[in-house]
Structure 1
Amino acid sequence: MSEDSNKQRYPIGIFDSGYGGLTILRQIRQYLPQYDYIYLGDNARAPYGPRSFEVIYKYTLEAVEALFARGCRLVILACNTASAKALRNIQQIDLPRLGADRRVLGVIRPTVEAVPEITRSGHVGLLGTPGTVNSGSYKMEICRLEKYVELTSLACPMWVPLVEYNEYDSPGADYFVKKRIDMIMRLDPEIDTLILGCTHYPLLINKIMKYVPEGVRIIEQGEYVARSLVDYLQRHPEIETQCNKTGQCHYLTTEQESKFRETAAIFLRESHLQVTQIELPEVMA
């Protein structure tokens, strides 16, 4: 037996404070179906958006450590709030302590990197949760990567409840979607690209497309995060070779397992999920 075949391999971790990250996981598995994944949803403590920076950082770090404890060496924060308010601290402060061979990535940078190839006018709109919009993280990333893009941001506080209460395709959703689309286009009529800066929003895509002006393009995060992960693994064979490849996916939740299955089915369109309830923070021996 070769030395390579004896090496231990690990799943890729996907974390979200709630359920929206399942849209990211779904796209990642379409692009990279051969890998093993562990999805952790801190559903019992969601939403993170209204919480303070310190609490979001603490909760996100607890989740990352729980995934590391289950063997993950690479964790994706499939959550805009966690990516905006916890990712940088975890990368700079905690990873040196947790292990040089471990990585944590977010969803904001891959999304922003897609902007220059899509926008023609340089006027871009961001639709997100109040926490993500107020963090200013998208504006900072755009200024860092693409100075000539003008970003207009707008919070959509009702959109996440529409999705989680399975009302995203109901007639009542039209009012809330149209109101925010009209509002951001009034703020900057030159917008030709809209970023959906929340992982819940892809489920509202039919309503969104119904009300965006002709010619305005939509950036859904899942596809770009998945593409970025493909590129990352190609550029980092030292990480890629550690990943297990049996195509399995296990789900962890801080909520009741039955509740997770019921709501996750809205995002994944499948119900037979292998789910385990855990508590955060975990006490490790």
Structure 2
Amino acid sequence: MDWKHAINEAAARIEGHAQVTPVMTSDALWDRPVELKLEQLQHTGSFKARGAFNTLLAGPVPEAGVVAASGGNHGAAVAHAATRLGFGAQIFVPEMAGPAKIALIERTGAALTVVPGEYANALEAARAYEASTGAMQVHAYDAPATVAGQGTLTREWERQGLEADTLLIAVGGGGLIAGALAWLQGARKVVAVEPETSCALSAALEAGEAVDVEVSGVAANALGARRIGGICFELAQAHLGESVRVTDASINEAQRALWQTHRLLVEPAGATALAALRSGAYVPAPGERVAVLLCGGNIAPDPLG
């Protein structure tokens, strides 16, 4: 697949629908300056709006509308995009999505069903709904239109003057990092960062194939995919620089650091990439310039809810 072409097309398609999120450089988060991309300021509080808008605008969308399964952020993004574009949406989320993300989806006006269990259970329910109604499934991470949409983030970041040699990116099902790998294709080093207790990508890389993993921990409602997406796995095998895991404690510490130093409020998934740098899970070489993607801000409980 010509990913560069697909991402350029996606960028043109979602212009005016997705936010251009700001960037900054911090001298306070590590012993050298770190470039940050503030994607927690995207519509509905995460990068997911990019893939959602790209998928719906690429169409066609059937009369039955769209359906999506989500740990929370993807569902909110699909619900928002569908509402803005005039399509019906049915969203399935697991109980572990938590009240803040469930409330975020409810505020869009989309139909919402909360499913017992985890993301895999919500996906099963969404597939059953798709089969019975003819609605279009908007996959959270393992679909070309989703990955191309997420790839617009890295494309945008480079156009904003990204100088780093290395990008640290959190991984759940793999849509976000797949988009970065698809756009960069080895031009910069990409480091995958996963919680120790939700690590579908590194488990797959170790096994040589996608495998099921158990998921838990503070970031599981955003990074808790049981199995890595096939698109991400293929791109990671070709282009990924390194994969590291971080503890829940280090994720929480990175959250606090972002708030205390810059008043940046992010959810655990949004702090996971920074946790690798601050905890020493990833150690850059001397002179290596590093950038960190803050991918989501839907904290639970909502501090101002």
Query: Does TM-score exceed 0.5, indicating one fold?
Result: no
When the two structures are superposed, what TM-score results if normalisation uses the length of structure 1? 0.40
| Rg larger in structure | 1
